[in-house]
Amino acid sequence: MSGQLTVSLSALTANYKLLCKYASGAVAAVVKADGYGLGAAQVAAHLRQSGCEAFFVATCVEGVLLRQTISQADIYVLEGVTPASATALREANLTPVLNTPQQLSLWSSSGCAAAVHVDSGMQRLGLPYADASQILKDCGIPLSLFVSHFARADEQGHGSLAVQLERTLPVYQAVRGQHPNLRLSLCNSAALLQGLGPEDLGRAGIGLYGGNPFAGATNPMHTVLTMTAQVLQIRDIESGVPLGYGGTFVTQAPTRVAVLGVGYADGLPRLLSNRGAVYIGGQRRPILGRVGMDLTAVDVSGLDVAEGDEAEMIGAAINVDEVAGWAETIAYEIFTGVSRRMPKRYVE
């Protein structure tokens, strides 16, 4: 209703440069899910100007849309290739990240380059590391990038990191024997900041957008996304009065309430009901009652707040990881759950 998203392009650039500083090679930007909800076209165009030369998306559809904005860069499609997407991948000059023997077979007749994904411990997509060398031997596809993925890089020093490297590097070296120009891509944001590798192309995701790449550690990234909402009405409510749907909050004293024009339809999680906070009038103030589809009530008792003023729902004062904690989820879901109805403003 009266909410707005502000995306700081300067903070995006600062995060990209910080990740590049720690990387052993180049750094690609992961812009799947519409750039983590911030707008893939705008994010990618800005990062391209900042020197980013490669991007990762989840699906062929995302890649085709991105290619309309980014003409001169590598775009990798993590889902690989399907019978339905093979033609579109070729026509848009997209590089599939091949995950299965069936995908290798399907792409082999294209005559186009591909990346290959080897699963070294995530147990999701990818060729099993124990069989990958044999599967890829004489595959007939010009392989340009070898991809694997750390499962627990956010837990600094976790033993699985070394195990996955021990599994990955011999397979990479074996495959590189037949593909001398094959590059290696392992690191997400957390792994990049820890200097893990070696590799030729890192993949910056959550850290790029300002989320904390680490579990239980200080966030080194700059705030990129700010969600704000206008005060639509101020209400003075007596003690003992239930608020909102279900009356889940009852005032214990006379309370001044600001009704904000943002709700769960905008991407503010309903689990913030009676547990989250916003930043308004220079202070953090609690959310009262249930977060509605379009409206959220907060306690502004004692503050000089008026109709039309703004409150920060997510940003520098109420960071996205804190909101995710209240909502019993992760920053990724908060970012990607932002509603398309929220207008976006891109600022330097």
Q: How far is CA 289 from CA 123, 161, 275, 296, 320, in A?
A: 41, 43, 9, 8, 21
Q: Which of 11, 6, 47, 10 is nearest to 28 (CA)?
A: 47
In angstroms, the CA 84 to CA 42 distance is 28
Q: 32, 129, 172, 209: which one is catalytic?
A: 32
Residue 223 gets which letter from DSSP? Answer: P
- Contact partners, residue 38, CB within 8 Å, separation at least 6: 5, 7, 209, 224, 225, 335, 338, 344
In angstroms, the CA 178 to CA 119 distance is 20
Inter-axis angle of helices 159-176 and 129-136, nearest 10: 10
In angstroms, the CA 103 to CA 83 distance is 9
16 as an active site residue: the answer is no
Which residues sit opposite 285 in a β-bridge?
A: 278
- Contact partners, residue 201, CB within 8 Å, separation at least 6: 25, 26, 27, 28, 54, 145, 183, 184, 185
In angstroms, the CA 248 to CA 309 distance is 26
245 as an active site residue: the answer is yes
What b-and-e string marks burial along 12-50, b requiring 16 or more CB atoms within 10 Å of the CB? bbbbbebbbebbbbbbbbbbbbbbbbbbbebbbbbbbee
* Residue 317 Rama label (left phi>0; alpha psi -120 to 50; beta): alpha
Q: Which residues are catalytic?
A: 32, 245
